[in-house]
Structure 1
Amino acid sequence: MDGVPPARRAIRLFPDYGRDWPLWENSTPTWDVGYTTTPDMYGLSEDLTRDMAEWNAHWDANFDPFDGWKDDAVRERWRQDGAAIAKRLQAEVADFADVSYEPWPLLGGDE
C-alpha cells in the first residue's frame, strides 16, 4: 500500500528544550509530517492549544536539567495538568490518532 498514510497516527506528548510545542510524530515513507508537530496540524481546539502552551511554558520556567524542579508543588501542578492535557488531546484526535504521553521530567532521578 505505497503512498497510503497509516490507518492510525501516533502522536507523542512530551516537552523538550527549545520547542514551543510538546507534540511529536514519527514520519514514515508514506506519511512525512516531520518529527516536531503543532496543534494546527491536528486541528486542536483553541482551549487545548492555549492550555498546552501554558503547560509547556510552565515546564520550561520551572524545570532545570541539572537541578530538577524548583519545588514539589510546581512539579505536582505540572504533573496534574499534563495528565489532563493528555486525556483531552486523546479525545480531540481519537478519530485518527493515538496519544503516547511521555512525561520524562517526572521519571527517574528528575523527581
Structure 2
Amino acid sequence: MPDAVPPARSLRLMSDYSCGWPLWGEGMRMHGRNDDGAHLGLSADTAAALRGWQEFFESRFHWDDGWTEPGDAAAYERTGRELLARLHAELPDYAIELDLWPVDKGTVGSWESGD
C-alpha cells in the first residue's frame, strides 16, 4: 500500500522528439541531453532499454502521421510499462510517472513505498 506522502525526488518517463533520453527531472536538462542514468544508480541494462524505447519512438512515431505500423502504439505502451516497473525496482525512493502521450493514455503514476 502506498504511503500518504510520496518521496521528494521524482522522475518522468516520457519520450519526446530529438531528446535522446526519456527520463526527465532531477537536474536533467530537458533538450538534447543524452544520459546513461549512472548518477541515478541505474543498471547498464535498464539504461540501454531506456535508450531503445526512445529510439523506437524516434524511428516509428511521426508528429503529424502517428505510428508507422498498427502494432507500434501497443508495443510502445507495453515497453513503457515494463520500463516503469524496472525503474521502480531500481529507484524505490523516487516517484516515477510514465507519460504515454504518444498513445493518448495520459500519465501513469507508479510511486509506492520501497519498504
Verify same fold: TM over 0.5: yes
Structure number with larger C-alpha Rg: 1
Work out whether 1:81 is the aligned partner of 2:74.
Answer: no
Q: Number of residue pairs matched?
A: 95
Please tell me the residue identity of whatever aligns with 1:21: W
Give the structure 2 partner of residue 51 of structure 1. 49
Residues in 1 aligned to 2:86 and 2:51: alpha-carbon distance in whole angstroms: 14
Please tell me the residue identity of whatever aligns with 1:8: A
TM-score (norm 1): 0.77
Please tell me the residue identity of whatever aligns with 2:19: R
Task: Detail structure 1 runs of 4+ shifted over 6 Å in the superposition.
Answer: none
Work out whether 1:12 is the aligned partner of 2:12.
Answer: yes
Q: Secondary structure of 2:12's match?
A: strand
Please tell me the residue identity of whatever aligns with 1:104: W
Residues in 2 aligned to 1:64 and 1:73: alpha-carbon distance in whole angstroms: 15
Assess, with a 3 A threshold, how the Cα gap between structure 1 residues 75 and 34 changes in structure 2: closer, same or farther: closer
- Structure 2 runs not aligned, ≥5 long: 1-6, 106-115
Residues in 2 aligned to 1:103 and 1:40: alpha-carbon distance in whole angstroms: 24
More helix by share: 1
Q: Secondary structure of 1:72's match?
A: coil
Give the structure 2 partner of residue 102 of structure 1. 99
- Distance apart, 1:41 and its partner CA: 2.6
